[in-house]
A = this chain, B = another copy of it.
Amino acid sequence: MMIYVVLNLYCICFVFLNLTGTFYIILLSGLSSWSFRSHTCGELRSHHVGDTVTLCGWVQYLRQDLFVILRDFSGLTQILIPQEESASHLKAVLCDLTAESVIKVTGTVRRRPAGQANKAMPTGEIEIHAENVEVFNVCRQLPFEIKDFVKKSESLRMQYRYLDLRSSQMQRNLRLRSQLVMKMREYLSNTHGFVDVETPTLFKRTPGGAKEFVVPSREPGRFFSLPQSPQQFKQLLMVAGIDRYFQMARCYRDEGSKPDRQPEFTQVDIEMSFVDQAGIMSLVEGMLQHCWPAEMGPIEVPFQTMTYEEAMRDYGVDKPDTRFSMKLIDLSELFLSTDIEFLRSALGRPRGSVQAICVPSGAKLFTGKDLDGLKQTAKTQFEQELSVVLVREDGTLKSPLRKLLSDSVTEELLNQTGAKPGDLLLIAAASLHTVRPLLGNLRLQCAEILESYGASPRDLSAFHFLWVVDFPLFLPKEDELEQLESAHHPFTAPLPEHAQLLYTDPHKVLGQHYDLVLNGCEIGGGSIRIHKASEQLYVLKNILKEDSSLLSHLLEALDSGAPPHGGIALGLDRLLSIMVGAPSIRDVIAFPKSFRGHDLMSHAPDLVSEEELKSYHISVRWPTDGGGEDEGK
């Protein structure tokens, strides 16, 4: 019984795989070129009946000493074990096979007997009458049984990644990744003349690059650095007249043990000359539309665009999930002359505000525990009290606030929030700086709670792309409020109409920066760059107070005939994980590092002898050596 369930699971998976496979037309014959096989295991149909074929693959399982189910990346084929006395040797070999052993079978394609066709299986009309078999490798007992594939722990999956990758889901993810990237390349390179340029990964440490891995060289005390992005190189390529550049760029970021971050990741890195913000946005829209798999449904361009201010105002976050509404509602005016102490006190503070979100059916569905969880988030992450108002079926409120609200305010509250019987209102009062992120966070948490009760606030199969634009160019430093730092990076140009503000009111300047958001995740960001050396120098030296000598080569380059230019970088791993609905980017990377940054298969990082480190003129400072070791952490 179990074996049939497994088979069906596989069939369904491979049907899916086959569907996505039609996305790109590959000549089937090309899939078997130079190979021992004549056909793949997913390819044979009734029109092949009578053909002599050779298949290679893995033994999925044996059935009743009658059939071997053979698997390769493309699907499953049923091999009929001959029962004649004259083929007893062949029968013995086939019946002796362990699951996951690797064989080559030659035989004749036959139509399955009437009534035995398997419609759930693309090759279900035929079977192969085996005439010859070669066993390439007998599989030992595996660390987990095949039928447990779907349930195994992530650390086991990582340790035996080469087995995990045999799953149809991982096969699909890696193949989709390859095809997606290929289509992007075709669009950029073949259709629009972008040049694929490889930039170095052994580079110089950038100022403040605390997250850059260092690589010791053979010169004492001198280190390369693995860059977080090819930012400087892409700009230099524009100065070099390359005009249009792209690269599927390997980037590095050392974030220690931050979960769900990979120390190396890939970005679709793009830069072009003589372009403005609208141009880059169109380019990205065109590229995504071109590479988007047909079976995921069309995506509409242009994407929705929202300013940073609108995003913060309506969603409390700069990467809103626009698959659902539940927007932030400003109640400040309603409570302007309130007697309620905490509201009045909040409104009295600079940029003080009272805001709410209305959760449809929240009063009906949420438990006390859910509400406590929301209050807990408000308290621990934002140090705020949250006012919870449930709208009863009869329209009355259930809330500690209830007695403090006059009838007219209550009516106006329901009116402004659109709250209906059964809905839940979450109200917070603080400075905008706090109240927006707080409610933005709770909004997402509420959507998840609703979904856990079977409600569907968002269409989980939808893909909502969104541009967020008009970001502030600088933000006050967290630990030193009078000092400004770049909101993104110091190379972003101001809006043309704000160029003069740089010199007078830098904190008011908006930048030509754009973020691409998909379903509430930031999947890309870019900007039009500063192309005048004097402006770049002013930003570095006078506004950011940085040591501009570290970027002297870039400043010199801008002074040597730099064209106006801009670009973008898309996070390929993140984009793919959203497309396939994977819980982690680890599911779209062939050999990812674990949650804690380790390669569980090979045990990297690993110890290196002091002897081997000598040629790099470094030695290990073991934590027991002395004090002060933790400071750098």
A615 to B241, CA, bound (A): 40
- Are the C-beta atoms of B593 and A136 separated by less than 8 Å? no
Select the residue from A31, A36, A198, A631 with max chain B CB neighbours within 10 A.
Answer: A198
- In the complex, residue of chain B having the shortest beta-carbon distance to the beta carbon of A631: B614
- Are the C-beta atoms of B560 and A190 separated by less than 8 Å? no
Beyond A223-B605, A608-B205, A614-B632, whether A100 also contacts B178 by CB under 8 A is: no
State the Cβ distance, A508 to closest chain B Cβ, in Å.
26
Tell me how many chains of this kind the complex includes.
Answer: 2
A37 to B243, CA, bound (A): 12
**A604 beta carbon closer than 8 Å to chain B:** yes
- Are the C-beta atoms of A605 and B204 separated by less than 8 Å? yes
Which residue from B221, B241, B256 sits with its C-beta under 8 Å from A171?
B241
- Are the C-beta atoms of B203 and A602 separated by less than 8 Å? yes
From A268-276, A298-306, A491-499, give the one contacting chain B.
Answer: A268-276
A162 to B531, CA, bound (A): 14
A160 to B553, CA, bound (A): 8
Beyond A198-B266, A590-B198, whether A241 also contacts B563 by CB under 8 A is: no
- Are the C-beta atoms of A274 and B140 separated by less than 8 Å? no
Select the residue from A179, A190, A216 with max chain B CB neighbours within 10 A.
Answer: A216
- Are the C-beta atoms of A605 and B222 separated by less than 8 Å? yes
**A279 beta carbon closer than 8 Å to chain B:** yes
- Are the C-beta atoms of A275 and B34 separated by less than 8 Å? yes
From A4-12, A232-240, A355-363, give the one contacting chain B.
Answer: A232-240
Interfacial chain B residues near A616, Cβ < 8 Å = 214, 632
**A210 beta carbon closer than 8 Å to chain B:** yes
- Are the C-beta atoms of B220 and A33 separated by less than 8 Å? no
- Are the C-beta atoms of B283 and A34 separated by less than 8 Å? yes
**A597 beta carbon closer than 8 Å to chain B:** yes
State the Cβ distance, A291 to closest chain B Cβ, in Å.
13
**A346 beta carbon closer than 8 Å to chain B:** no
A510 to B51, CA, bound (A): 38
**A532 beta carbon closer than 8 Å to chain B:** yes
**A331 beta carbon closer than 8 Å to chain B:** no
Interface 1/0 per residue, A235-255 and B, CB below 8 Å: 011011111000010101010
State the Cβ distance, A602 to closest chain B Cβ, in Å.
4
The interface on chain A, measured as residues whose beta carbon lies within 8 A of the other chain's beta carbons, has a size of: 143
Interfacial chain B residues near A248, Cβ < 8 Å = 198
**A131 beta carbon closer than 8 Å to chain B:** no
Interface 1/0 per residue, A587-604 and B, CB below 8 Å: 001111100010101111
- Are the C-beta atoms of B240 and A161 separated by less than 8 Å? yes
A558 to B163, CA, bound (A): 11
- Are the C-beta atoms of A608 and B197 separated by less than 8 Å? no
Interface 1/0 per residue, A146-177 and B, CB below 8 Å: 00000000000000111111100001001101
Interfacial chain B residues near A71, Cβ < 8 Å = 241
10 extra interface residue pairs, beta carbon distance < 8 Å, beyond A102-B561, A204-B606, A205-B604: A27-B191, A31-B192, A73-B241, A182-B185, A198-B590, A200-B264, A200-B592, A215-B215, A222-B605, A615-B632
Interface on A for B, CB 8 Å cutoff? 24, 26-27, 30-31, 33-37, 56, 58, 71-73, 100-102, 104, 136-137, 139-140, 142, 160-166, 171, 174-175, 177-179, 181-182, 185, 189-193, 195-205, 210, 213-226, 232-233, 236-237, 239-243, 248, 250, 252, 254, 256-257, 263-264, 266, 272-276, 279-280, 282-283, 531-532, 553, 556-564, 589-593, 597, 599, 601-608, 611-623, 628-629, 631-633
